[in-house]
Amino acid sequence: MSKFLDRLDRLARGPSTPMGFGASSRVEKLPAMGLLASVTQEQAASGSLASSGIDGFIIKGAIDGGQLSSFVSQVGDLPWGMEVPCLDGGTASSYLEKGADFFRFGANGVEVGALSAEEPAYLLSVPLDSEERILRGVEDLPVDGVVLTVDSSGLPLDLSQLMSLSAVRCMFSKYLLVDLPGVVGAGELRGLRDIGVDAVIMDVTSVSGEALAQLQEDLLNLPRQRKPRASKSDAMLPRNAFRLPATRQQDDDDDEEDD
C-alpha cells in the first residue's frame, strides 16, 4: 500500500497514547492534515526540501533519469510521486521501479490498465465546477483520492469557496486533497479540515522557507475536531438522502404478526 495513504490514515486516527507510567508526557503530536509539496524538476534534483518535515513530494512534469536518481537518494523513505499529463502501463512501471509512491493525473490520457498496480496511490485531479453526475461517478473509479485546485485568485479563502469544496466532498468517500495557490492561515486550514479535507498540496516554487514552516506549525497546532467527522462510508449519504421511510402497510403487517 502507498506510504502516503498510510500516513493519511495515521493522521485521521490521531495520536496514540502509550500505556504505562508517564505515558501522558509521551503522546505523539500529529498535524491535522497531510501536506504535500509540489516541486519542479530542479527542486527535486537539488534535494533542498528533503528534510523539511512535509509528508511527501509531487514532481511536476517529466524528469530525466539522472535527476530522479539524485532526488530518490536524498529523500530516503519520504513518499514521492509524479504529476503527469497522461499515464500508460509502461510509464507507470518505469516510475514504480524507481520508487514512486503515487501518481497525480487528469481523466484524459490515462489508460485504465495503468491503474492496476496495488502499491501506488492514484490521485485524480477533478475540476471544482464538474457536474454532479461526474462527481458521483468518481466513487466507483479505480483511484484512491481526488485533487481539487483552488485558482490563483482564490486566496484568502471565502465562505463560498468553502461551500463549493464541501459540496464536492459529499459526493464520494475517496481521500480529498486541495491544491492551494499559496499559503493559508490557521483559520482557513481549520475550515478545510472541518469539511473533510485529508491533505493540502502546496506549490513551494514561490513560497519562502519561513512561510512553509509557519504552515507546518499551523497544521501541527490545529486543534483536533471535537466531534469526529463522518467516516468515509458516511460521505456517501447524499446518494441515499431521499430514501423513503417504511410504508404504513409494512407497519400494519408487523402489528398483525405481533397480535
What the chain holds in terms of domains, given with CATH numbers, is 31-254 (3.20.20.70)
Which is it for strands 175-180 and 145-149: parallel, antiparallel or unpaired? parallel
- Range 114-139 average pLDDT: 94
Q: How confident is the model at residue 157 (pLDDT cuts 50, 70, 90)?
A: very high
Q: What is the pTM of this model?
A: 0.82
Q: What is the CA radius of gyration of the chain?
A: 21
Residues 6+ apart with CB under 8 A from 112: 142
Q: How far is 148 from 135, CA to CA, in rounded Å?
A: 11
- Range 149-174 average pLDDT: 92
Is residue 63 within 8 A of residue 45, CB to CB? The reply is yes
Q: How far is 228 from 6, CA to CA, in rounded Å?
A: 19
Residues 6+ apart with CB under 8 A from 77: 3
pLDDT above 50 (res 243): no
Average pLDDT, the chain: 82
Share of residues in the chain with pLDDT > 70 (%): 78
pLDDT above 80 (res 247): no
Look at 233 and 223; give whichever has higher pLDDT: 223
Residue 155 Rama label (left phi>0; alpha psi -120 to 50; beta): beta
Residues 6+ apart with CB under 8 A from 28: 15, 16
